[in-house]
A and B are shown apart, each in its own frame.
Chain A
Amino acid sequence: MGRELATQERRKERLDRGIKVRTEGIYAVSSWQEVTYLVLPRLVLIVGLLLLPLLMPSLYWNRVISIVGIYALLALGFDFLAHFVGLVSLGGAFFIGVGGYTAAILNKSLGLPPALTIPMATIGGAIICTLLLLPALPLRGVYFAIVTLMYPLALTRIIEALNIFGGTDGILGVASFPNRWVEQYLIILIVIFALFGLRRLVNEDIGLVFRGIKDNDQAVRASGLSITLYKAIAVFIASGLGSLGGAYLSHIYMWSGISQFALDFSVIPIAATVIGGGGTLVGPLLGCFFLVPLSEFLRAFGTLRIVIYALILMGFIMYRSEGIMVYAQRKYHQFQRWVKV
Chain B
Amino acid sequence: MPQIGEPAPSFSLPATDGSVHGPDGAAATVVVFTCNHCPYALAWHERIGAVAHDYSGQGVRVLAINPNDAGRYPRDSLEAMRARVEAGQFDAIPYLRDETQEVALAYDAKTTPDVFVLDAGGVLRYRGAPDADYEDPSQNAAYLRGALDAVLAEREPDPAQTTPVGCSIKWKPRSKPVD
**A-B complex is real:** no
